[in-house]
Structure 1
Amino acid sequence: MTRNAEPDGTRRPHVLSRLAPLCAAMFCSYLAISIPLPVIAVHVHEGLGLGTVMAGLAVGVQPLANLAARPWAGRAADRAGAKRTLMLGLGLACAANLVALASTAGGIAPATALAVLLVGRAVLGVGESLLITGILTWAVGRAGHGHAGQAMSWNGVAQYSALAVGAPIGMALFGAAGFPAVAIAAACAPLAGLAIVGALPAWPVSGGVRLPLHGVVARIWFPGMLLGFAGLGFAALTTFSSLMFAARGWPGGGLALTAFGIAFAGARLVVGHLPDRLGGRRVAAAAMSVEAAGQMILWLAPSPAVALAGAAVTGLGCSLIFPSLGIEALTAVAPQDRGTALGAFAAFQDLALGLAGPLLGGLMLVGDEATAFLVGFVAAVAGATICGAIRRRLAFPHPT
């Protein structure tokens, strides 16, 4: 085997060069989601004068719509092709942020503004489902056999780099020009993604008999369930970190997402190959333990510096959970069902994110602003314990 070669003989630089344009498209695409993410709750709670439950709902409706669209997105990627699926998702992401912009029209009542905003957030969730599923299906195919973990890891680097960059951009635009500026910037970002992928040749659609959706879900539900456990900590951070900073009078609320994104991307750059080499189950158990430590730091943080450290540790843990468990899910299906498997697998995280917004917002009524991170800590500990206790693969092998 040549130096720096992968187990199947493919050099790592060659794999990364094949993934580079899709990673660039992922970065541009996810700016449409990350730019408004840290300000949605603040806009609804303070700008519209509505409570934390409505703020959580405004954040949570997007992953719920993402969840509802996952079966369609997966089937679209398998049948119509990853490129067409991705381009449709990018178009919807642009349109969704324009709908959110419409919610800021002058003279509109807060309740009506919230209703229009929720429509935009729902459309954004559908667009996210299509573009994420399309990119990941395309990337796994381009990366080649034995590199599925790298394909997911490197696109995650692009995704959460966009989170790290987009969060402070959103906070800065919100502070300088209000929510309309945020919506306009988020609507423009997907256009760059369209320009990148439009020049790429489409990846061929795999042939063969496809499993029905329920058959795919039956094969990947266990790693999907563990992904949902891990998703609660991420939901707590993205939804309520800005509110925690604001409630305590701390500066730099948007930097919590930046710290998370930098740590997340950095970990994938350095150790993103570990799931392919060590196995998904082992790496996932360790990663969820690190996520739990980050959530505990956030829960007990006495200062903004400690809270930012907790966000970074959470990012380190979350970085390898999706590709580790994703490998376990993909081994359960044939190539022609990859898109459906990825969509169904990610749906478990979407479900956790969608339920976490209003649930954690309600818990804050009886606790304080850090209660969400206690829930994230308990969920991550539970996931790590279950994953570490299993001594077999997390998914059923596909029959030969």
Structure 2
Amino acid sequence: MFTPAFLALSLASFVTYFSVQLLTASLPLYAVRLGASDAVLGWMAGVIAIASLVARPWVGQWLDRGGSVPALMLGILAFALSAAGYWLAASVVILLVFRSLTGLGVALFTTAGQTLTVNLTPQERRGEALSLYAVWHPVALIVGPPVGVAIAGAMGYPALFAVCIAIGLLGLSLTWPLRTLRSDSTGRRPLLFNRTVWMPGIWMAFLMVPYGANIGLLAVHAARRGLANPGMAFTAMAVGLLAILLSVGRRSDRAARTAIVVPGMLIAAFGMWATAALHGWGLLVGGALSGIGLGLAQPALLALGVDLVPPEDRGSAMATLGMFLEIGIWLGAVGGGLIARSFGTGMMFGLAGVAPAAGAILAVAFTRRSQP
């Protein structure tokens, strides 16, 4: 499984994710300086979700035609260009415009990376491979947000955006060893929406509501609740995510996928409720639980979706699951922003926990109904 291509993909992914995560906690604070309200902060994550949602079906078709590596590279370039746009933005409106470019990068980069991971590994190690590939996201999340806040505080936001651009271009250069990879194509028209994976997709949407709430408003919530560096809440989330990804990947290949998905959703729910209730350093508990829940459930859901389709439909399957993922993020970010504006961020995080809890109940009910 640990082929040179997989290792090159992993290294490029870590560097790229790090360039993106530098802005996770600092960009909402920058937007507040430009006059953004809680609702607008939710839209900053929501715009990414909408742009990615719209782009993913066509990205999936491109991948099933053999375009995984070009899509990966174009996604990294979109991240770098969006950071340049943030540098030039003088208003919240312009900031939101360039967030849509980030959303295009998400659709290209994540869908291509996951599809390449599946194509590079045997079926019996699919869950493990997706978990190990996903490890690079929390590794970047551990250091990225607090480092981004520190850079912005010490040298200003223009310096932070310049660093993001430089690191993003480094990630692009690291994809060079992947240029010789070729994906098989059947010659038929690829699917735009893969209906086979609709049920795991619905579960994915429920799971990602807390993530959207975190990306949109956790930094501001943590600052208001007395956490000196709001980026530390994301670091706690990443530590929980990393720990679980390193420990349970093979287990999802040996047990039923839903046996991993359901506990993950429930833990994600408790993470939201802890974030709603606690203050100061206690917010790290909520962040860690959110990461553990996400790390358990998301790779298992992706592996479940790929299990259901033939190899030539993997791109469309990943893209369709990604569409549901973006719907969940959009609901958590935009809906969360609207709720926070009226009732406060504490109430919003409490309500966000209801979504994965409901998803767990739905998954259990569907699994029992499907059993003979």
CA drift at 1:132? 1.1
Corresponding residue number in structure 2 for 1:307: 283
Cα distance in 2 for partners of 1:166, 1:371 equals: 27
Cα distance in 1 for partners of 2:190, 2:11 equals: 32
Cα distance in 1 for partners of 2:262, 2:118 equals: 23
Contact kept? 2:80, 2:168, Cα under 8 Å? yes
Corresponding residue number in structure 2 for 1:42: 29
CA drift at 1:151? 2.2
Cα distance in 1 for partners of 2:205, 2:84 equals: 30
Encode CA deviations 1:16-70: one digit per residue, 9 max, x unaligned: 765322111111111232111212222222x112311112212321122111111
Corresponding residue number in structure 2 for 1:200: 178
Encode CA deviations 1:211-240: one digit per residue, 9 max, x unaligned: 5324x1x11111111111010111222222
- TM-score of the aligned structures, taking structure 1 as reference length: 0.87
- TM-score of the aligned structures, taking structure 2 as reference length: 0.94
User: Relative to structure 1, is the Cα distance of residues 180 and 371 closer, same or farther in structure 2, using a 3 angstrom cutoff?
Assistant: farther
Contact kept? 1:100, 1:120, Cα under 8 Å? yes
| Selected match of 1:224 from 201, 214, 223 | 201
Contact kept? 2:38, 2:217, Cα under 8 Å? no
Contact kept? 1:328, 1:393, Cα under 8 Å? no
**Unaligned runs of at least 5 residues, structure 1:** 1-13, 105-112, 395-400
Q: Which amino acid aligns with 1:212?
A: L
Contact kept? 2:225, 2:280, Cα under 8 Å? no
Corresponding residue number in structure 2 for 1:126: 104
Question: Residues 1-400 of structure 1: matches in 2 within 5 Å?
Answer: 14-15=1-2, 19-45=6-32, 47-104=33-90, 113-208=91-186, 209=188, 211-214=190-193, 216=194, 218-301=195-278, 303-391=279-367
| Partner SS, residue 185 of structure 2 | coil
Larger radius of gyration between Structure 1 and Structure 2: 1
Cα distance in 1 for partners of 2:241, 2:286 equals: 12
User: Relative to structure 1, is the Cα distance of residues 279 and 15 closer, same or farther in structure 2, using a 3 angstrom cutoff?
Assistant: farther
Encode CA deviations 1:133-158: one digit per residue, 9 max, x unaligned: 11111111111222221222112110
Percent same amino acid among aligned pairs?
Answer: 27
Contact kept? 1:81, 1:202, Cα under 8 Å? no
Cα distance in 2 for partners of 1:252, 1:311 equals: 14
CA drift at 1:93? 1.3
My pick for the range that moved more, 128-137 or 17-26, is 17-26
| Partner SS, residue 276 of structure 2 | helix
Q: Which has the higher contact order (CA 8 A, sep 6+)?
A: 2
Aligned CA RMSD, in angstroms, stands at 1.9
CA drift at 1:330? 0.9
CA drift at 1:201? 4.6
| Partner SS, residue 319 of structure 1 | helix
Cα distance in 2 for partners of 1:101, 1:333 equals: 42
User: Relative to structure 1, is the Cα distance of residues 249 and 176 closer, same or farther in structure 2, using a 3 angstrom cutoff?
Assistant: same
CA drift at 1:285? 0.6
My pick for the range that moved more, 82-91 or 241-250, is 241-250
Aligned residue-pair number:
369
Contact kept? 2:305, 2:321, Cα under 8 Å? yes
User: Relative to structure 1, is the Cα distance of residues 148 and 353 closer, same or farther in structure 2, using a 3 angstrom cutoff?
Assistant: same
Contact kept? 2:65, 2:190, Cα under 8 Å? no
| Partner SS, residue 95 of structure 1 | helix
Cα distance in 2 for partners of 1:183, 1:60 equals: 21
Q: Which runs of 4+ in 1 moved over 6 A?
A: none
Q: Which amino acid aligns with 1:255?
A: M
